[in-house]
């Protein structure tokens, strides 16, 4: 008798390792957690709905069944360069990171700022810097920077920064962040293999607390560095255990006075390049392994407070009700309708209802709208259209509606010269925007010429254990990054 189950598993692991494993955890989770743009530059609350049991999980398990979640096993026959040092280094680095902060039951990662897992990741970064003879510095905000040891080279005022972040969202994927850091080190290895002379210092960066999963502010490290997040505000941020960042940093033996903007460092940076796994299906649809970012969409978080009158669900006639849930429902449907029409994104992912009884008409509904659009005018028009439709319903019902913008981030247009040069260097790679926020957006808004490379994500799923990139695409990303760095670091 053949064994159909065993055969199926073998085929799935070969072709789609991450998804094959996701099946064990329930495929429906892909739908729950999808998404292209689940992260942003503003104040976020993504962690609030998925509280981890603790922040200090260094390793939650390393089950053999999850082996392929993030592991790299490049196929020599497909690119014929299996013996090359940068490829071996890439695989080694990836395998070393794989168990850190991983939840054995889901295969997802819990790598929160200043947790035990985060400290292990920082140690790992320091080790990679040391192994390449780079000089590790910390900007005081927790951002790790690995400089060339050659003091004359490092002292030039035109450093090229390359990197990303190592922290994760709750139950996040292996690629978001770490792919950019591992690729940066591997790109340096490849440039060394090629014997490329770098006239400018290339500095590998590991930005601190990009996801904001613990304290609620995304890109806290880069925002502190650029000064767009005030030290006092940052130090006062609290995690769900009630600990402030100040308390957490003190417990880790860090100097609170060192948390401050670092224009002195940024003034020495002439460009920043961040490679990132794509958080959508753009490249997959275009059949391209690597793409270049054009822009980050503007996005906003809006709190909608619908107010009405609590009453008995059984005795109150329908025409006598002041039910705020109805205007909320109109808003949800309007968000879907208008975002589809505008090619934008609108999501209600969080809602609070009072008094919250099955047999009670609500007195109030508080909901949060996450809206993103290709440009700021479209974003404003989208939110207005949603609000207008909701107000129509609230007028009919005699209910109230207040809309409060909680955070609105402007569009980020990446440096056009860098973008065009990268696209040309990469043989006309696709240029595409993203709805997700990144440290690259923060540095770009600060005035640092910035570019991003995206690596194809076959399913587009991100911020989920099912996030994936194929090993060959990852190595194509390393080669692309090396090409861009060679261009930027040439005198």
Among residues 167 and 470, whose Cβ is nearest to Zn ion? 167
Among residues 42 and 148, whose Cβ is nearest to Zn ion? 42
- Alpha carbon distance 452, 161 (integer Å): 12
- Contacts of 71-79 with CB under 8 Å at 24 or more apart are 71/17, 71/95, 71/98, 72/471, 72/474, 73/471, 74/471, 74/472, 74/474, 74/475, 75/471, 75/472, 78/472, 79/472, 79/475
Give 193: exposed, middle or buried? Use CB within 10 Å, 0-12, 13-18, 19+: middle
The count of C-alpha atoms lying within 13 angstroms of the C-alpha of 220, restricted to the half-sphere facing its C-beta, is: 28
Least distance in angstroms from the C-beta of 471 to Zn ion: 19
Residue 163 binds Zn ion (CB under 5 A) = no
Residue 437 binds Zn ion (CB under 5 A) = no
Least distance in angstroms from the C-beta of 416 to Zn ion: 23
Contacts (Cβ under 8 Å, ≥6 apart) of 10: none
Among residues 87 and 176, whose Cβ is nearest to Zn ion? 176
Residue 221 binds Zn ion (CB under 5 A) = no
Least distance in angstroms from the C-beta of 441 to Zn ion: 11
Among residues 21 and 176, whose Cβ is nearest to Zn ion? 176
Q: Which span sits near Zn ion by CB under 5 A: 174-182, 231-239, 244-252, 422-430?
A: 174-182
Among residues 231 and 477, whose Cβ is nearest to Zn ion? 477
Among residues 176 and 239, whose Cβ is nearest to Zn ion? 176
Q: Which of 177, 206, 231, 324 binds Zn ion (CB under 5 A)?
A: 177
Residue 473 binds Zn ion (CB under 5 A) = no
Which H or E run contains 14? helix 4-15
Least distance in angstroms from the C-beta of 118 to Zn ion: 15
SS3 (DSSP) at 332: helix
Least distance in angstroms from the C-beta of 168 to Zn ion: 9
Residue 467 binds Zn ion (CB under 5 A) = no
Among residues 222 and 389, whose Cβ is nearest to Zn ion? 222
- Alpha carbon distance 267, 66 (integer Å): 44
SS3 (DSSP) at 10: helix
Residue 37 binds Zn ion (CB under 5 A) = no
Integer CA distances (angstroms), 269 to 36, 41, 157, 258, in order: 30, 22, 7, 20
> In this structure, are residues 440 and 454 in contact, taking their beta carbons and an 8 Å threshold?
no
Give 55: exposed, middle or buried? Use CB within 10 Å, 0-12, 13-18, 19+: buried
Least distance in angstroms from the C-beta of 219 to Zn ion: 9
Q: Which span sits near Zn ion by CB under 5 A: 175-183, 341-349, 363-371, 426-434?
A: 175-183
Least distance in angstroms from the C-beta of 439 to Zn ion: 8
- Alpha carbon distance 326, 311 (integer Å): 15
Contacts (Cβ under 8 Å, ≥6 apart) of 127: none
Least distance in angstroms from the C-beta of 165 to Zn ion: 6
Which of the 8 DSSP states describes residue 66? G
Mark residues 121-160: x for contact with Zn ion by CB under 5 A, - for none: ----------------------------------------
Least distance in angstroms from the C-beta of 176 to Zn ion: 4
Residue 176 binds Zn ion (CB under 5 A) = yes
Q: Which span sits near Zn ion by CB under 5 A: 135-143, 177-185, 237-245, 450-458?
A: 177-185
Residues in contact with Zn ion by CB under 5 A are 176-177
């Amino acid at each position: 008798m053949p064994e159909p189950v065993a055969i199926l598993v073998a085929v799935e692991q070969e072709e789609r390792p991450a998804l094959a494993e996701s099946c064990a955890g329930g495929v429906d989770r892909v739908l729950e957690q999808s998404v292209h743009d689940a992260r942003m530059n503003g104040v976020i609350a993504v962690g609030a709905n998925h509280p981890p049991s603790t922040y200090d999980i260094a390793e939650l398990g390393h089950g053999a069944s999850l082996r392929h979640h993030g592991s790299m096993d490049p196929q020599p026959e497909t690119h014929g360069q299996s013996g090359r040092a940068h490829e071996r280094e890439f695989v080694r680095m990836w395998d070393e990171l794989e168990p850190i902060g991983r939840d054995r039951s889901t295969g997802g990662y819990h790598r929160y700022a200043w947790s035990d897992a985060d400290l292990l990741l920082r140690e790992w970064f320091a080790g990679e810097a040391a192994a390449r003879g780079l000089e590790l510095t910390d900007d005081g905000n927790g951002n790790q920077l690995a400089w060339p040891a050659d003091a004359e080279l490092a002292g030039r005022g035109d450093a090229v920064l390359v990197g990303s972040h190592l922290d994760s969202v709750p139950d996040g994927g292996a690629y978001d962040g770490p792919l950019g850091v591992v690729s940066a080190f591997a790109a340096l290895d490849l440039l060394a293999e090629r014997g490329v002379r770098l006239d400018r210092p290339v500095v590998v960066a590991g930005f601190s607390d990009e996801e904001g999963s613990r304290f609620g502010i995304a890109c806290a490290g880069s925002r502190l560095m650029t000064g767009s997040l005030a030290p006092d505000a940052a130090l006062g941020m609290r995690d769900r255990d009630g600990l402030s960042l100040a308390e957490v940093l003190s417990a880790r033996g860090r100097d609170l006075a060192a948390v401050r903007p670092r224009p002195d460092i940024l003034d020495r940076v002439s460009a920043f390049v961040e490679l990132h796994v794509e958080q959508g299906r753009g490249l997959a649809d275009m059949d391209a392994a690597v793409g270049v970012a054009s822009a980050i969409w503007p996005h906003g978080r809006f709190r909608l407070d619908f107010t009405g009158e609590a009453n008995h669900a059984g005795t109150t006639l329908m025409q006598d009700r002041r039910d705020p849930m109805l205007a909320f429902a109109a808003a949800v449907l309007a968000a879907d309708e208008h975002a589809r029409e505008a090619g934008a994104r609108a999501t209600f992912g969080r809602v609070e209802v009072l008094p919250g009884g099955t047999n009670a008409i609500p007195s109030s509904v508080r909901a949060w709208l996450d809206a993103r659009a290709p440009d700021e005018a479209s974003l404003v028009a989208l939110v207005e259209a949603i609000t207008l439709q909701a107000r129509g319903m609230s007028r009919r019902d005699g209910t109230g509606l207040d809309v409060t913008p909680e955070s609105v981030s402007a569009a980020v247009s990446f440096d056009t010269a860098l973008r065009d040069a990268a696209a040309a260097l990469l043989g006309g790679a696709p240029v595409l925007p993203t709805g997700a926020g990144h440290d690259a957006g923060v540095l770009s808004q600060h005035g640092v010429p910035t570019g991003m490379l995206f690596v194809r994500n076959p399913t587009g799923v991100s911020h989920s254990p099912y996030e994936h990139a194929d090993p060959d695409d990852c190595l194509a990303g390393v080669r692309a990054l090396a090409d861009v760095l060679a261009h930027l670091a040439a005198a």
